[in-house]
Amino acid sequence: MVTIATWNVNSVKARLPHLLDWLKQSQTDIVLIQECKCETDKFPAMEIEDLGYNLAIHGQKTYNGVAILSKFPLEDIQRGIPDFEDDQARYIEAVISINQQALRVASVYVPNGQSVDSDKFPYKLNFLHHLHQHAQTLLRYEEPLVLGGDYNVAPYELDVFDPKALDGTVCYHPQERALLRTMLHAGLYDAYRLKHPQARHYSWWDYRGGAYQNGEGLRIDHLLMSAQAIDRLSECHIDETTRKWEKPSDHAPVVATVSLT
DNA sequence: ATGGTAGGCTCCCTA
């Protein structure tokens, strides 16, 4: 059994104690993290390596930044979506060898978009378009594939606390939901939703307005898997433990267990 | 109620 998680940590330096504690207690094999908010050479690599992880980092100062933590060896590291010019560090991909079997993974941080009338919103749609194009390329390999990350999109009504009020706002706008659902209809499977078809469980809660205490969240962090990976999925859950800790990330980890021999 | 909180970094931007 191999466990794989995605977690937007909102600053790897500010969240290092939480990250280390969570890694120790959860013993997750592969962790895809987003919003590291630090340059590659300033990444707290030693503390994480000391817990037995290999690292692939695509860092950036102040904003963005993604990384892959893996107890198995990492190969063929790719930074950025191929054929997509982007000065923001939002995508890193690697091949993980597990008992001579290849599992391709990526840590993805889709732009938030800020608001629908912002110029960041078309950038978000363009990013999703290129992510979809690249996913199509990867799916043609017919391998176990996990594209995990903060997608900043809640695909269905069940994924937001107030679908009527939020309809048309960023993270729940028809255009971005359509783009994410295009990926889901083109051969990628949403691991959490597959295992919990009716559950209303969120992965992100705004820091503002006591959103977590009020149960006002969105399910925007996803583990999207190819058929070859989803066929081996035995379990998937959202781990709210860390969201209850002092000074938490606004996101909770999404964790899947896959049987790879 | 056009706010609220958090992180990084600079007196503001992003989420």
Q: Which of A29, A150, A159, A221 is catalytic?
A: A150
**Whether the Cβ atoms of residue A109 and residue A150 lie closer than 8 Å to each other:** yes
The DSSP letter of residue A232 is: T
Q: Which pTM does this prediction carry?
A: 0.97
How far, in Å, CA of A46 to CA of A52, rounded? 10
Instruction: Write the single-letter amino acid at A164.
Output: K
Q: Which of A109, A151, A202, A212 is catalytic?
A: A109
pLDDT digits (tens, 9 = 90+) for A111-145: 999 999 999 999 999 999 999 999 999 999 999 99
pLDDT digits (tens, 9 = 90+) for A181-221: 999 999 999 999 999 999 999 999 999 999 999 999 999 99
**Whether the Cβ atoms of residue A114 and residue A63 lie closer than 8 Å to each other:** no
Say which residues have a Cβ less than 8 Å from residue A194's Cβ, sequence separation at least 6.
A230, A233, A236
Q: Could you tell me the domains of chain A? A: 2-258 (3.60.10.10)
In the complex, which nucleotide's C1' lies nearest to the CA atom of residue A207?
A: B5
Strand B CB-contacts below 7 Å: A 10-11, 13-14, 37-38, 61-63, 111-114, 120, 152, 207-209, 247
Phi and psi dihedrals of A193, rounded to 5?
-65, -35
Q: How far apart, in Å, do the first and last CA atoms of chain A sit? A: 8
How far, in Å, CA of A23 to CA of A129, rounded? 33
Q: Closest by alpha carbon to A4, among A136, A145, A141?
A: A145
Residue with minimal CA–C1' distance to B8 is A62
One pLDDT digit (tens) per residue for chain A, 261 residues: 999 999 999 999 999 999 999 999 999 999 999 999 999 999 999 999 999 999 999 999 999 999 999 999 999 999 999 999 999 999 999 999 998 899 999 999 999 999 999 999 999 999 999 999 999 999 999 999 999 999 999 999 999 999 999 999 999 999 999 999 999 999 999 999 999 999 999 999 999 999 999 999 999 999 999 999 999 999 999 999 999 999 999 999 999 999 987
Nucleotides of B under 7 A from a protein CB: 4-9, 14-15
- A109 is an active site residue: yes
